[in-house]
Amino acid sequence: MQTIKPIKPIGELTVEIAREINEVSKTLGLELLLVGAQARIILLENIYGLNPGGATRDIDFAFAVESWDQFNQIKQSLISTGQFRELTKEKQRLLYKSDLIQHEYIVDIIPFGAVQDDNNMIAWPPELDVVMSVSGYQEALESALLVALDTDLTIKVVSLAGLAILKIFAWSERGTVTENKDALDLLTLLRTYHEAGNADRIYEVPEPEILEIINYNPELMGAWLLGYDASAIADKSTIDTIAGLIERKKENLILQMAKSLLGNENALNEAEALLSCFTKGLQN
């Protein structure tokens, strides 16, 4: 796998936290994957020099684990460094203390793999009262990019296509009636994908007629390509699930995406067109 070197330095705090977690994962011999908003920022801003959308106040890592005991070993190893503190009510969440900032920083660690059920759900033992979906995480790991966060630190980062898959599942799980940041993040991916190393690829799609249908609009072509790339890394059941989620809940999703297009009289139409192109690319 080729290592990608960002054109803009990664934030010091992100590097510091990633270094701590990478050391623990290496010691335990586990696969580590950077996901979430920090991944979006690294991919869009640091690698491609684009506007990454909204800032974030947390960082998310996912681990492919063989058991809950293994996940607890990760958590306790991080806490034992003295830099991380656990939250009893939010079992996936740690707080990180750094000299770089005055307040503690939120770090989420998400297990997947052998701990998930047939519906790709995980429930934290022993109470099993904290439940979340990890749909798409295996695909995200298998299609991840190897990124040099620093001269001596290289980790796997979810690809933009993998991130789009995770965002759709996250949006669906966290509630689709009220606003949430997942819809905004998805919109950012749809609007910028044509510029994220795909300036030539958008004209080389396997279905050239799609270019005429969308009038060679770069953003729409990028949204179609993002769906196409997402389909290339996901299995059929994941693709069908995503398409079903979008079909059933698209009105809410379009509305939430459109709200972020402030001052745009055609916000709803643009959001609908982007989502439609993504879905067509996904189901090509």
* pLDDT digit string, tens, across residues 164-173: 999 999 998 8
Selected residue with higher pLDDT from 261 and 84: 84
In contact, 72 and 115? CB cutoff 8 Å: no
> What count of Cα atoms within 13 Å lies in the side-chain half-sphere of residue 77?
18
- Give, in order, the Cα–Cα distances in Å from 125 to each of 11, 113, 115, 132, 236: 34, 15, 10, 13, 30
pLDDT confidence band for 124 (50 / 70 / 90): confident
Question: What integer best gives the mean pLDDT of the chain?
Answer: 92
Region 176-189 average pLDDT: 80
Where are the CATH 3.30.460.10 domain residues in the chain?
3-158
* Position 174 pLDDT exceeds 80: no
Confidence (pLDDT) at 19? 97
**207 three-class SS:** coil
Q: Which residues of 169-204 are buried (b: 16+ CB within 10 A; e: fewer)?
A: bbbbbeebeeeebbbbbbbbbbbbbbbbebeebbee
Residue 9, pLDDT > 60, answer yes
179: pLDDT confidence band, cut at 50, 70 and 90?
low
Q: pLDDT tens across 126-147, in order?
A: 888 778 889 999 999 999 999 9
Q: Are the C-beta atoms of residues 77 and 39 closer than 8 Å to each other?
A: no
Of the ranges 156-160, 173-177, 249-253, 256-260, which is most confident?
156-160
| Section 211-235 average pLDDT | 92
Q: pLDDT tens-digit profile of 201-212?
A: 988 877 777 777
Mean pLDDT for the stretch of residues 87-109: 92
Q: Which of 156, 57, 71 is nearest to 106 (CA)?
A: 57
Residue 262 has pLDDT above 80, yes or no: no
Burial-class residue 232 by CB neighbours within 10 Å (0-12, 13-18, 19+).
middle
Closest to 111 (Cα-Cα) out of 68, 178, 63? 63
The token duo for 90 is 């939010």
Cα separation, 249 vs 32, whole angstroms: 32
Give the three-class secondary structure for 161: helix
Looking at the whole model, is its pTM more than 0.75?
yes
Residue 88's pLDDT is what? 79
Q: Indicate if the pLDDT at residue 280 is higher than 80.
A: yes
Residue scoring higher pLDDT (34 or 91): 34
What's the confidence (pLDDT) of residue 273? 94
Instruction: Name the DSSP class of 201.
Output: G
The three-state (H, E, C) secondary structure of 224-280, written as one string? HHHHHHHHHHCCHHHHHHHHHHHHHHHHHHHHHHHCCCCCCCCHHHHHHHHHHHHHH
- The arithmetic mean of pLDDT across residues 148-172, rounded, is 96
Name the CATH architecture for the domain at 3-158: 2-Layer Sandwich (3.30)
Task: Give the C-alpha separation, 251 to 272, whole Å.
Answer: 9
Q: How far apart are CA 207 and CA 191, in angstroms?
A: 20
